[in-house]
Homo-oligomer: A and B are copies of this chain.
């Protein structure tokens, strides 16, 4: 059999991998990128490259939770039934200040919310329930009710002890993480570089978004969609336009992209037709192809290869299949390159909101919308469910996994869904 006959024959004899096998293959080659330091203010959306331990307890001192008076609780034993206890005010502690004296029984310190509680005090009485008196040039605060020790004081280390692991490496940084990092003085953050992800579309049928529609043609919606998805996943998209159906040209363009960027994603050209350029390209050298068929719908033709030490993901040209292929393969790869601790789409259980009758011998990833009804999560499959369909992508927030062995699923069945990151 000649080389070209062999290739031709391969088109019909692809060995299909299970999704998890295929995912494991690409993840094996998704290497973490280099460390870089970014200012805290631009760290949102990045992944921590190193564990962060608390350098000091938080709060770092016994902190007042009220504006009022720091006192010794036992001084108020006799309060109640109209009996007012008067305590001499010996200090005034604004926020950020240090108490000037320790507190002894019979005394009080005026204290602000957030200020350091003086040694000796064990409770803070809120300002609103106190009275003020001046006698012999001294100020006194009057308290009418018995006070409990420990009230309105946040003890040193209450939130976080010193040396605690506060944020493990691989954590996605958002507002709450920024607050913690700021509190511990982390003004520059070690993260992994964002992967530069090159995107090619294939297909002579494709018009650019700004071009007027012409018969038989469609506008390229996959590239802009991928651009948005890559950014959403933390990557830096590099849009390299369309590859026409010329194997030589495709090879050199892809090769150049692999040398220049961290990951190359293509859409289209992976089916079994005559013009399936990406399929031909990865089949040329068997050694570097990781897979060219996955037991999934949509996107069974999803293809992955290693070249020049870089990953090439060739996704289907069908918008729905391209989207699912991105979520199952490209997103985890882009996440892992950034050191994400949970690069895969999170799984959860839902109740199927409508019958799903379409089955075959591949696992289906059905675009669906989650609905919370009285605390129970329902997944409502998109009404038009074809791999080519583009319009349902925007309305979906999960993918329902329909296993191949089922003869369809009835409404009410428990299903596993993959949560989309919208």
User: In chain A, residues 202-251, which have Cβ atoms closer than 8 Å to a Cβ of chain B?
Assistant: 203-206, 209-213, 215-229, 231-232, 239, 245
**Quick check: B115 and A65 within 8 Å, CB to CB?**
no
Nearest CB in chain B to that of A114: its residue? B205
Residue of B nearest to A316 (CB): B113
User: Contact: B159 with A389, CB < 8 Å?
Assistant: yes
A5 within 8 A of B: no
* Contact A220/B182 with A94-B204, A98-B215, A372-B349 known, Cβ cut-off 8 Å: yes
A256 and B332 alpha carbons, distance in the complex (Å): 46
Assembled-state Cα–Cα distance A390/B323 (Å): 37
From B187, B229, B275, contact of A209 by CB (8 A): B187
Count class of interface residues, chain A: 35 or more
A-B contact pairs, 18 of them (CB 8 A): A41-B239, A58-B390, A59-B218, A67-B273, A94-B245, A95-B275, A97-B205, A112-B275, A116-B215, A159-B389, A176-B394, A176-B395, A183-B390, A184-B219, A185-B209, A350-B372, A351-B375, A374-B414
Query: Contact between A174 and B228 (Cβ–Cβ < 8 Å)?
Result: yes
Q: Tell me the smallest distance from the CB of A110 to a CB of chain B, in Å.
A: 8
On whether A182 and B272 interact (CB within 8 A), knowing A96-B205, A377-B377, A422-B174, the answer reads no
Cβ contact within 8 Å between B113 and A174 = no
The minimal Cβ–Cβ distance linking A159 to chain B, given in whole angstroms, is 4
Total copies of this chain within the assembly: 2
Q: Which of B97, B372, B394 contacts A179 (CB 8 A)?
A: B394
Residues of B within 8 Å of A388, CB to CB, are 63, 65, 114, 154
A27 to chain B minimum Cβ distance, whole angstroms, is 22
Q: Does A61 contact B (CB under 8 A)?
A: yes
Residues of B within 8 A of A184 (CB): 219
Residues 94-111 of A, flagged 1 when their CB comes within 8 A of B and 0 if not, give: 111111000000000000
Are the C-beta atoms of B372 and A95 separated by less than 8 Å? no
